[in-house]
Chain A
């Protein structure tokens, strides 16, 4: 049996018409086997493959699994968040919800990159996927106006992405915006809602919202400034809970590798409902749910800690070193290696400017904690 890679490389050369004559002979010899011939024929039907992948991708596995668990565990505790808008409140209510969860997703592998890229901070960048699967790279410099339909535009400029759409009563066309590590990006949805997407995060949303509730799906972290519309609640769906609001601003965080559920209220009033318990939050309070015991506690927090990322700052207050470095790793796209795991629990308090080089931050951390860092390529070794 010939080496797979060799044969596959011959296939590829054949497809791209770059195959050399003696390679044709080699391929022909290999094709003498009946089984091999079948395989070859199948492999040459290329477009079908990409098409099938697209079809498979259409099915929402998360939603299907949620539907399933609702049926097989009808009594299970589910967490629901409602924002109760006080009638007298004129200002937008700011609610920050951080969701950490651990069970259902496979742990995301970090990206070990062998070469040195540069340890400069992230910048504006994202990949936009249209409903037909085509992708478009967005960066700082691009300026464009795309006509999606009659009277419907997608404007891209230095301030981000903006959907200018006459809403027709029906939610149409899902687009997807993915922000890689070392990235951040802003967008404005068809209803005027502003979204700040953090590094390594993905948002799926319709090009125009319909008459029903406004729904978007989030993986990772985003800050929403929701356009007020009491008739159409705004719902952010994440892998294990939905945040439902009328018109407010809040932060949602659900990176797959983080651990518990938190909801933080900045301004206004919010009611958190779980199957058989409910909790009213005052500004500056946080509801924290321990997912294993199902117990929910209320604590006082400094809400700036949960939303400062969108304003160019990382604010830490007696934060564990490991959590700090996880945040930095997403923004600078580096990997962290701990020589001793005991240092993970060292606490740090301070403000770090997001657009400074990571070296600055490490120096600061070295000065105020008991650890030393060494940068090797894009790996940070914690000693």
Chain B
């Protein structure tokens, strides 16, 4: 994560410029993670607030063993899961069966083999595609969705992702792999239906 250094001492002392720098550097990242877990903008805003308040209160617990960003992600992720539990008022759905990170686990083999990789550039800004992407990621189990979000959307390393989510690096890798294949499968169905409709290939 390439982010500007935040002066922690100034932050402890309540310096407004340091608070502003912290907010600028991390608010959007925290928001996206919380939104990824909770799928509700107002709840994600609450998590941003909670995370910064909690982080500033417990700044002395931050020992610099991980990066500040990873630590904030962890605070935000735990707060998001807490809220998810309270909201559903039932236990969280069971996690995906834990994979063995040493051997890897058999992932479902791809079913849809349509080559839609050369999607037109304009689809990046296409409303229908945006809705489809959001729906596809929303249908992933939360445990896979957050790993994909941190690794492939935010660009964290495997180690940073694992630390932020309290996973082993092996488990983070397996979940990322499953998430990518599941999303690919889901999007293949969508694009293979849409491309002929618009006269593209195939």
Q: Do A and B come from one complex?
A: no
